[in-house]
Amino acid sequence: MQVTLVQEASTLDPAENRARLAELTPGGSDLVVFPEAFARDFGEPGSDLSEAAEPLDGPFATEVAKVAAERGTTVLAGMFERGADPARPVNTLVLRGAGTADYRKIHLYDSFGYRESDRVTAGPLTPVTVDLAGLTLGLMTCYDLRFPELGRALVAAGAEVLVVPAAWVAGPRKVDHWTTLARARAIENTVYVVAVGQPGPRYTGHSIVVGPLGDVLLEAGETAGTFSATLDRDAVTEARRTNPSLANRRL
């Protein structure tokens, strides 16, 4: 599988962000991953996100599907979805193209002085996987990376790649946490991890691809950019033969 990581910042203008989907999506990849909240940035802490919310047949998800079809690829990108509570939309990933799925963020970022749950409704406790280009993807969003039980639930559902769009807020130790957690999720589950963040200075950047034995195959810096990697299902099979920790678990 060829995967493209798009480490680009979203703005507060949804129309501008939609237009950039086509500009930033290359052909030739099986999967193109944009960051969390690419449809519209979070804005200042505590700002109202309800006006940014759209239905899944709204402008952003429709444009994701259109761009994926035009480029002959599958695109994953984050948006705020209109939900049951008009004041608190859902932080949703939409995947459109050869595979189709929607994942609503389970773990909200109530940490490091932020309160995402004041503005966002958590998604259902259901792991979301999708088959694409010979691999099974498990979807996570940003803060979900800190919760090993979600990664394990996705792997129990068949995931061989954990894909993690994020807007990982910058700060002391945050890059180290991001890269360490991405490697940990890969090592403990013998899976690839593809984690794509928004760039600095507000966010950490450092989009990363980790192999199923914990090798860092690609790591970006802080600035915006587009990066590519190749994922091989045989590497997952070999990692699980070498390190059969999933087969050996007792709990």
Q: Residue 234's CB: how many other CB atoms inside 10 A?
A: 7
| Cα distance between residue 115 and residue 108, in whole Å | 8
Which pLDDT score is estimated for 45?
Answer: 84
Inform me whether the pLDDT recorded for 247 exceeds 90. yes
Which residue intervals of the chain are DSSP H helices? Answer: 14-24, 59-71, 148-156, 174-189, 233-242, 245-248
Q: What is the pLDDT of residues 14-45, one digit of tens each?
A: 999 999 999 999 999 999 999 999 999 999 88
Confidence of residue 197 (pLDDT cuts 50, 70, 90): very high
Which pLDDT score is estimated for 53?
Answer: 97
Find residue 32's DSSP bridge partners. Answer: 4, 75
DSSP assigned state of 224: -
Q: What is the pLDDT of residues 154-189, one digit of tens each?
A: 999 999 999 999 999 999 999 999 999 999 999 999
pTM exceeds 0.95 for this model: yes
What amino acid positions are annotated as catalytic residues? 36, 105, 142
Q: What is the pLDDT of residues 204-216, one digit of tens each?
A: 999 999 999 999 9
The torsion defined by the Cα of 199, 227, 178 and 213, in degrees rounded to 10, comes to 180
- 82-109 mean pLDDT: 96
- 77-105 mean pLDDT: 97
Which pLDDT score is estimated for 251?
Answer: 87
Which pLDDT score is estimated for 109?
Answer: 97
Inform me whether the pLDDT recorded for 99 exceeds 90. no
Q: What is the pLDDT of residues 114-169, one digit of tens each?
A: 999 999 999 999 999 999 999 999 999 999 999 999 999 999 999 999 999 999 99
- The backbone region for 216, taken as left when phi is positive above 0, alpha when psi lies in -120 to 50, beta otherwise, is beta
Inform me whether the pLDDT recorded for 230 exceeds 90. yes
Counting every residue written for the chain, the total comes to 251
- CA 212 from chain centre, in angstroms, equals 17
Cis previous bond, 201, omega within 30? yes
Q: Are 138 and 164 in contact (CB under 8 A)?
A: no
